[in-house]
Amino acid sequence: MNDNDLIVIGVIKGKHGIKGLIKVKWYTENADGLEKYNPIFMKDGSSHTLKIRFKNKDLAICYIEGVNNPEKAELLKGQQLFAKRSFFPELDDNEYYQTDLIGCSVENNKGQFLGTVSAVFDYGSSPLLEIGKDLVAFNNDNFPVIKIKEKIIVSEYDFFGDRNNEE
């Protein structure tokens, strides 16, 4: 399966209890979205059925098939959970998923290449784009134009950090 076919829907934060349950931080609209996209996939391509047992604060406590003890659950800490893109709704022309930003060229408003988006980090405030060695807040002030079909993002700035990381 191609990475472009998958969208991150959560990350395993650790184990919960002695029965092999896992704590999942969900990136879906709500925790129920984790089950909605079953089967879920791991980075190694393996697929699993995930069941939510309950919610605890901002984490879903889940059972994942094949994980039945705390040692196995602990080994999954930090693993991202993916769902097939085909399970998600079709988007309008000016909409995109954050994962679609990865690989986009970033240029200033004069068309000068500044770098390429290599990752998107979203910790709940404003998403951050990794461009070269820099992390830049992804908002309308910094990036007023997104041409997702052309894979181009236009920045208000002429450079990031001390100098451009890609030349």
* Alpha-carbon span 164 to 132, nearest angstrom: 8
The tens digit of pLDDT for each residue in 22-72 reads 999 998 888 888 999 999 999 888 999 999 999 988 899 999 999 999 999
Indicate the residue among 40, 58, 86 that finishes a domain: 86
In CATH, what number is assigned to the domain containing residue 104? 2.30.30.240
In CATH, what number is assigned to the domain containing residue 57? 2.40.30.60
Domain containing 121: what range?
98-155
- Statement to judge: residues 79 and 45 lie in one domain: yes
Which residue in this structure is represented by tokens 């089950």? Answer: 35
- Is the pLDDT reported for residue 128 higher than 50? yes
Say what the pTM is: 0.74
Position with higher pLDDT, 2 vs 115: 115
- Statement to judge: residues 69 and 130 lie in one domain: no
> Which two structure tokens, joined as six digits, stand for 30?
């709500």
CA distance readout (Å), 67 to 31, 71, 83: 20, 9, 19
In a domain? residue 161: no
- Statement to judge: residues 107 and 77 lie in one domain: no
- Is the pLDDT reported for residue 166 higher than 50? no
